[in-house]
Amino acid sequence: MTESLNRIRAFLADREPPTPCLVVDTDLVADRTAAVSAAFPGALIRYAVKANPVPAVLDAVRSAGAGFDVASTGEIDLCLSRGADAGELAYGNTIKKPSDISYAYARGVREFTTDSAGDLANLAEHAPGSLVSIRLLTGGPDSVTPFGHKFGCEPSVAAALLRRAAEAGLRPGIAFHVGSQQPDPAAWEIGIATAAKVAADAGVGPARLNIGGGFATEHREPVPSLAGYAAVIHDAIRRHLPGPELMLEPGRVIVADAGLIRTEVVLVTTRAVADERRWVYLDVGRYNGMAECENEAVAYRLEPVGVKGPEGPVVLAGPTCDGDDVLYQRTPCALPLALKAGDRLDIPGTGAYTASYSSVAFNGIEPLRTYAVGRFADAG
């Protein structure tokens, strides 16, 4: 990882791109993909494209033998344009139109996830014979960025859908996602045990067990290693549901550590007379890259570039005219007292869910520009 940061910092020093920008090291993306494969031997790895869809990242993922978890026709086209085979794609979004399904099927996609009777009927009609996994609501511990109740069905509903999928001539599977940035491996054990119960209740042997993504990456707090997650997951599979072929859909754990955002300080000031904390405004905020600062969910590390000396507490905010564009006011943040407008800050660990979440032109600010370094950097 040090090597990777060195490559990124050398690029920034050499090219001096305008801020804010994200630089992603594709060598680390390839290494991380290989590490996930090594931790789960024989499993199918489908990188969740939404985490970071830049072509160089997709190329690095592919080079390490993984395919893609896609969520829209646009992501299908993107992956195919990078040379992916349709058989390496899994359409993981349970929210889709019949026309999306027909499009995917026509392009050769044969694996889908669903969690409702309506979508299952559409799949049976427009993607006949495909492998269709029923996504469960698993009820494990909340992750840092939980999905709430938007996806997944209750186990009793899942058992009925599993039977219906088999009756409709589809190949039934079971899927779940424990929520992104999930620090507790026990969440997967609960999901796998629930999947086993659903399969038994349905009397259907699933062809696929898709345990989603969710593996956490380190910011300020330590998180389990891939080996730590894998030990719990393999043990749970052995005890509960050893039959089906395993699939993973990691996003964050493949790309987060490979990215670094460089940002410029726009203003340093104080606000309330009774609060001596400085407000530090950056040229990156919640609408051009720092979306996961919503509710201060992810506490990124902040590294001033070339500014040293004693530090004091700050509130950190973005550049737009939006009152919600504040990154941290409860999360403790300290920055050098000498920090002033024009200074630079680096935010490491920002390769996932940053550029892909930025708005197109809110307040006239362009989406976060991404640059790639490493072996796959020259992707056209």
Ligand X SMILES: *Cc1c(COP(=O)(O)O)cnc(C)c1O
Whole-angstrom distance, CA of residue 136 vs CA of residue 115: 7
DSSP secondary structure letters along 169-200: T-EEEEE----BSB--THHHHHHHHHHHHHHH
Q: Does residue 349 bind ligand X (CB under 6 A)?
A: no
Residue 21 among the catalytic residues: no
Q: Does residue 348 bind ligand X (CB under 6 A)?
A: no
Whole-angstrom distance, CA of residue 84 vs CA of residue 91: 14
Whole-angstrom distance, CA of residue 189 vs CA of residue 154: 17
Q: Does residue 316 bind ligand X (CB under 6 A)?
A: no
Q: Which range touches ligand X (CB under 6 A), out of 189-197, 237-245, 248-256, 266-274?
A: 248-256
- Taking Cα atoms as reference points, which of 121, 235, 253 lies closest to residue 178? 253
> Judged by CB, which is closer to ligand X: 249, or 346?
249
Q: Does residue 44 bind ligand X (CB under 6 A)?
A: no
Q: Does residue 152 bind ligand X (CB under 6 A)?
A: no
| Among 73, 122, 180, 354, contact with ligand X (rule: CB under 6 A) | 180
Question: Which residues in the 76-95 window bind ligand X by CB under 6 A?
Answer: 92
Q: Does residue 177 bind ligand X (CB under 6 A)?
A: yes
User: With CB under 6 A, what is the number of residues at the site for ligand X?
Assistant: 16
Q: Does residue 32 bind ligand X (CB under 6 A)?
A: no
Whole-angstrom distance, CA of residue 93 vs CA of residue 69: 9
Q: Does residue 69 bind ligand X (CB under 6 A)?
A: yes
> Judged by CB, which is closer to ligand X: 122, or 181?
181
What are the two backbone dihedrals, phi and then psi, of residue 199, each rounded to the nearest 5 degrees? -65, -40
Closest approach, Cβ 316 to ligand X, in A, equals 24
Q: Which range touches ligand X (CB under 6 A), out of 188-196, 221-229, 245-253, 371-379?
A: 245-253
Rounded alpha-carbon distances, angstroms, from residue 164 to 109, 204, 307: 21, 10, 62
> Judged by CB, which is closer to ligand X: 36, or 377?
36
| Among 152, 214, 318, 351, contact with ligand X (rule: CB under 6 A) | 214
Closest approach, Cβ 266 to ligand X, in A, equals 30
Closest approach, Cβ 134 to ligand X, in A, equals 13
* Backbone region of residue 8 per phi and psi (left: phi > 0; alpha: psi in -120 to 50; beta: other values): alpha
Q: Does residue 259 bind ligand X (CB under 6 A)?
A: no
Rounded alpha-carbon distances, angstroms, from residue 326 to 143, 263, 300, 350: 22, 15, 14, 17
Q: Does residue 67 bind ligand X (CB under 6 A)?
A: no
Whole-angstrom distance, CA of residue 217 vs CA of residue 36: 13
**Dihedral sign (CA 215, 284, 310, 315):** negative
> Judged by CB, which is closer to ligand X: 68, or 281?
68
> Judged by CB, which is closer to ligand X: 72, or 363?
72
Q: Does residue 53 bind ligand X (CB under 6 A)?
A: no
Tokens of 326: 């504040």
Q: Which of 153, 293, 321, 333 is catalytic?
A: 321
| Among 82, 96, 164, 252, contact with ligand X (rule: CB under 6 A) | 252
- Taking Cα atoms as reference points, which of 213, 209, 207 lies closest to residue 226? 213
Q: Does residue 289 bind ligand X (CB under 6 A)?
A: no
Cis peptide bond prior to 20, omega within 30° of 0: yes
Whole-angstrom distance, CA of residue 189 vs CA of residue 21: 38
Tell me the catalytic residues.
321
Interface positions with ligand X (CB under 6 A): 48, 50-51, 69, 92, 177, 180, 212-215, 249-253
